[in-house]
Structure 1
Amino acid sequence: MRLFIHVFIVLFLLPSYGQVTFDLESLKNEYLYGELSAEEKFGILRTLSKETPNVIEKLAWGDSLIEFSTANNNLEHRLQGHLSKAWAYNDLGNYLSDISETLAALEIADSIGKNPAQLYNHLANVYGNVNNTNEAIKYYLKSIELHKKADSISYPNLIESYYNYSNFLLKNDLLDSALVYLEKAREATQKTTPQLITYITPYLDGNTGVYYFKKNQYDTAKPLIEKGVEGLISSHPDAAVEYYNYLADIAQEEGDLDQALAYSNKALEITESSNSTSELENLYLNLFEIERERKNYKTALEHFLAYQELKDSLINLPTIQKMYNLSKAYEVSNVQKEADLMAKEAEIQELRANRQQTISIIFVVVVVLLSLLLFGLFNRVKYVRKTSRIIEQEKERSDALLKNILPDETANELKANGKVNAKQFDSVTVLFADFCGFTKYSSRMQPQELVERVDFYFSRFDAIMEKYDLEKIKTIGDAYMCAGGLPYPHQDHALRVVLAAFEMIDLVQAFKKEAPNDPTRFDIRIGINTGPVVAGVVGTKKFVYDIWGDTVNIASRMESNSEAGQINVSEDTYKVIKNTLDCTFRGMVDVKHKGMMKMYFVDPLTQDQQKSLFEVNNITVQQT
């Protein structure tokens, strides 16, 4: 989901030329041929750079605004020029250029003392588009915090941050949290003007419809999404494209393929007229699925190839790394400015101290000076020894903490080189586990109780990972992710992961039997897939070891299609373990964005059978 609000704010916060309703062609002619003052030219350029629907033209008007602002030394208007270009690059899917323009706007905002909350919100949108969850969440929360800390809260900007954060949560299927922030945006909207209420309501209605769509409540979702389209199609048709995609999805679910195709073609028409690529990826995928179901296989193949080509061109690891480096360079430059100020202050303090010391020396007897010097030297030796011991202890603690966060091989590489190169693993088995009904019960629990319950299970899962020499990757809410076969390859990594999964299920069921009436004793479902991945470390302060690739996505789909107490494996994993473990074929299952896939449930094993597998397959496990 890439439907972010980044246009409506400027209509209500920043002065523009004339009213919101205007004739763009008339404005172009007036700017090119009319006799205008500098302020009138600024107003027209700002309006054209914000409201021109064609993104290529929007880039050109943004450049004109920057050039004119630079010539007239007007930083406020120059900031808007960079921001308009950032929005245009976002619509084109050129996220690296988007980041560059946004950081240029941030530098100007810092220099003129302007609240940068809106710019951090846009940065969060970009990182959300490339699935960099950590960076996106960081900048969304920073944007909301800056809005709330402002002397006078700008509700239009606060609405934008609330809405976009809820949109990001919807994209990541954090539905209940997404609905909370949608309601925050709706509440804040009521504190603004009728004009803004009319403008933002289609976005709120449309995304509320998306929430119910993801809840599989199509009868509730469809009229809300249609209201969103109706409110946007005349003023911002490019924003309606995503909602057309969802209407096409609903039509597919209802079996009306002609209607689904009509919605998708309408979305494609809008996209081609505006040169926007932000929704083309999902649009081509929808067209592929529709034409495949209509048995137009040649047309379906064309759409799938277009989808794959666009997906590969928009998001790749080098581009994501460059984006990350740009934002980090900006943060480092800000830190350097603060360090320079501190150095100046330290220099002043040092000069004052030296002057005072000179005055004091005049009144000190030579004998006293010698005594103090000897005493100081003695204490200095003691201090150096003590400090050396402390430094050595802290170094040992730091090394232990680093190896607790990262695999040993990765931690050693990071200490030796200051960075870690990404690595390709040809065969890795990835496991996702998720608690059934956790969201429902967690909303009724106190925060401390919730954390203690999650830690109760996850700490025991960690022990199982250590036992089977598997690598814990991360936890996301109540989801637990691990992998076998990295950073050191194992030929039996698939079997190790499945046996670990059995122990996880046995552990959860054992605790549930102890207190069968306790609603916080959960069932667990597990999904497993085997294939190639890319592994590496992201971050410069809080290091995170992570893995990427379609193997990870399919493992997640295996978990979401699993059932309580079951281990659902893909066809690739089944081929590896079929000679060792018995599995039950579930048939072909339709997986969102993946098509029909074969899935298998691994038949249950007793603890004696598990122990027997250790001996027969010579699996070496660590004692926990």
Structure 2
Amino acid sequence: MQYVYSQNQKEADSLKRIYESGERNGEAKLELLNNLAFHSTSNFKESIGYADELINEALKSSNYLYVYRGYIQKGQTYRIAGNITEALNTFIKASEIAEKLKNEKYLGGGYLTIADTYSEIENNANAELYYQKAIAILSRTDDYITLGSAYLNSGYHYYLKKEYDQALANYKASNAIFDKLEYPIGIAYNIGNIGMVYAEQGRDLEAMQSINEAIETLEQFEDYYAISEYLSSMSNVYVSQKKFSKALEYDHKSLDMAKKYGLKKQISASNFSLSNLYEKLGNTDASLQHFKEHVLYRDSIKNLEAIENMANMRTDFEVAQEQAKTTISEQKRKNQKIILWSTIGVLFLIGILAIGLYNRNKYIKSTNKIIATEKERSDQLLLNILPEDTAQELKDNGRVEAKKFPSVTVLFSDFKGFTSYAEKLSPEELVDTIEYYFSNFDLIMDKYGLEKIKTIGDSYMAVGGLSFDKVNQAKEMLLAAKEMNDFVSKAKIDNITSATFDIRIGINTGPVVAGVVGTRKFAYDIWGDTVNIASRMESNSKAGRINISENTYQIIKNDFDCEYRGELAVKNRGEMKMYFVNT
């Protein structure tokens, strides 16, 4: 989705100086915080911080218009950063406040943000319902910019559904509004989006002209999210023309811009586009690497179960409010019947209560045994997902604080030639084969007291050192890696599964931050430069070898026979020292 209120980093820097001076108070300070949150969306933490301060300050003075604006700005920042669950939750809060204020401008804007978010998670029915409501309400106001945005974003929704005629109709309605207002960024969005439709329709020349015109305008406003998306569209045009080198150039420009400004959704999309493009060119290694990064970012922004649970609970809160009004009137008519039947029910219960007390005592004893068994089972399941200390913290507090670990050892592995094998196997054979290897890797990790973090496709990730114990976790990880390598070699000789592989392993040691992602479907994960370097060690390893970084080598060099490889070029890292561990 695109939003036609242009952010500006220079403006943000100017506003920061005013904020730091402490000269603004009252409503002037609220407006300052609102503008800071809006113009700082390229810095996620700063924008969220300003939005939270705006909400808190506005609540203190009961200024609910600015409470609404704070939630809107906070939701937009979450959306841009890829945290869709929090974005939807925050937009719903904003719309509830607008409903209480009976302010149609704000209510229409709130419905628009909800529609955009539902569209992003492909809940099409709810997206279209809220787009219709937003347009209907905003058409009764003089907020033409937001009305133009509603047509623009609903057009993009239909574009994603490949309903190109409806998309073009909405873009043209939006453009008519922005053209009348002489609003350049809104016009640029419509021109660029129309260009994307032309690209899908095979109208390449018109597509390139429109997209280039949009990019030229948006560069003036530093709107990198839209530019990154339009660069990907340009790549698609060049692919259709079989100009693959130009397509690669534009896709890499899109990816670099998305990474620079932390645009997770576009990072995922650009990686997916590059994966497909490299596959067409026959570069399977590059294709697989970009596909892995696509999956990594896609999963980080789409915790689908949490989002769908939220969608089920709050599919359409306006309809729910109307239903609540009907229920109240019906309830008044039923009250007398309820009182009558409640009295009869209470008398009946008193009668059977005496009989039930004896049986209840016996039942409680047997039930307690069942509860104890089930509690033990649920505790064990939780330990299968989370480390023991983390699981206990979750049970005690209902949440888990992120922790920084000064030194852990991270392992990545993947199978050489996995993609070509995967194409030849049936889905059942592929799953059974991966399960065979990964389940045995899990046993090896348990043996050495290490934690598996996750698997992505054929990639396996584990870490040692999350328990703050005195064990030499780097040495333990190397021993585990050797066993993994030996197991894979033996499996290849024994030919037990439908396909056999060679394994590449990479290891690095350093600090990480660890925590739990999600609220209903828990996932334990780690973040930091240490993780990225470990992944680079794996991608620079060779079949049947364990490749380690300089950090890990300095810890284990007296315990293992290592072979210095020299300083090798690493993507986005320059040259790094690497070592093979001889097995």
TM interval, shorter chain, is 0.5 to 0.7
User: Paired residue for 2:362?
Assistant: 382
User: Paired residue for 1:200?
Assistant: 193
User: Paired residue for 2:303?
Assistant: none
Q: Relative to 1, partners in 2 of residues 1:375 and 1:546: Cα closer, same or farther, differing over 3 Å?
A: same
Instruction: Tell me whether 1:356 sits opposite 2:315 in the alignment.
Output: no
User: Paired residue for 1:573?
Assistant: 552
User: Paired residue for 1:236?
Assistant: 218
User: Paired residue for 2:405?
Assistant: 425
The percent identity for this pair of structures is: 40
Instruction: Tell me whether 1:478 sits opposite 2:458 in the alignment.
Output: yes
In 2, the alpha carbon distance for the partners of 1:347 and 1:507 equals: 71
User: Paired residue for 1:6?
Assistant: 2
Deviation at 1:600, TM superposition (A): 1.8
In 1, the alpha carbon distance for the partners of 2:424 and 2:332 equals: 56
Q: 1:522 aligns with which of 501, 505, 528?
A: 501
In 1, the alpha carbon distance for the partners of 2:405 and 2:345 equals: 68
Tell me if the contact between 2:410 and 2:464 (Cα under 8 Å) persists in the aligned partners: yes
Deviation at 1:461, TM superposition (A): 0.8
In 2, the alpha carbon distance for the partners of 1:141 and 1:198 equals: 25
Structure 2 counterpart of 1:458, which letter? F
Once the two structures are superposed, residues 155-198 of structure 1 have per-residue CA deviations (whole angstroms, 9 ceiling, x without a partner) of 986884699xxxxxxxxxxxxxxxxxxxxx48444764386796
Question: Please, what is the CA RMSD of the aligned residues?
Answer: 5.9
Structure 2 counterpart of 1:236, which letter? L
Tell me if the contact between 1:432 and 1:528 (Cα under 8 Å) persists in the aligned partners: yes
Structure 1 counterpart of 2:456, which letter? I
Matches within 5 A, 1:431-510: 431-442=411-422, 445-510=425-490
Structure 1 counterpart of 2:574, which letter? G
Structure 2 stretches of 5 or more lacking a match?
6-37, 41-46, 48-66, 133-149, 173-189, 233-248, 264-299, 301-306
Structure 2 counterpart of 1:476, which letter? I
Matches within 5 A, 1:281-292: none
Q: 1:533 aligns with which of 504, 507, 512?
A: 512
Q: 1:583 aligns with which of 562, 570, 576?
A: 562
Q: 1:512 aligns with which of 492, 505, 512?
A: 492
Deviation at 1:104, TM superposition (A): 4.8
Deviation at 1:530, TM superposition (A): 0.5
Q: 2:578 aligns with which of 571, 594, 599?
A: 599
Deviation at 1:553, TM superposition (A): 1.2
Deviation at 1:554, TM superposition (A): 0.8
Q: 1:553 aligns with which of 510, 516, 532?
A: 532
Matches within 5 A, 1:54-453: 102-105=91-94, 107=96, 119=113, 140-141=120-121, 143=123, 146-147=126-127, 160=156, 185=160, 187-189=162-164, 192-193=167-168, 199-200=192-193, 230-237=212-219, 238-239=223-224, 242=228, 279=260, 355-356=340-341, 358-359=343-344, 372-442=352-422, 445-453=425-433
Tell me if the contact between 1:501 and 1:567 (Cα under 8 Å) persists in the aligned partners: yes
Partner SS state of residue 193, structure 1: helix
Deviation at 1:402, TM superposition (A): 1.7
Deviation at 1:576, TM superposition (A): 1.5
In 2, the alpha carbon distance for the partners of 1:109 and 1:485 equals: 49
Tell me if the contact between 1:143 and 1:161 (Cα under 8 Å) persists in the aligned partners: no
Tell me if the contact between 2:418 and 2:501 (Cα under 8 Å) persists in the aligned partners: yes
Structure 2 counterpart of 1:514, which letter? D
In 2, the alpha carbon distance for the partners of 1:393 and 1:347 equals: 45
Structure 1 stretches of 5 or more lacking a match?
11-53, 60-77, 125-138, 164-184, 208-222, 247-259, 272-276, 283-319, 321-326, 606-624
Partner SS state of residue 575, structure 2: strand
Structure 2 counterpart of 1:392, which letter? A
Give the TM-score of the pair, scaled to structure 1. 0.51
Tell me if the contact between 1:105 and 1:119 (Cα under 8 Å) persists in the aligned partners: no
In 1, the alpha carbon distance for the partners of 2:207 and 2:550 equals: 37
Partner SS state of residue 565, structure 1: coil
Structure 2 counterpart of 1:549, which letter? G
In 2, the alpha carbon distance for the partners of 1:234 and 1:374 equals: 82
Tell me if the contact between 2:81 and 2:262 (Cα under 8 Å) persists in the aligned partners: no
Tell me if the contact between 1:205 and 1:227 (Cα under 8 Å) persists in the aligned partners: no
Partner SS state of residue 487, structure 1: coil
Partner SS state of residue 502, structure 1: helix
Tell me if the contact between 1:525 and 1:559 (Cα under 8 Å) persists in the aligned partners: yes
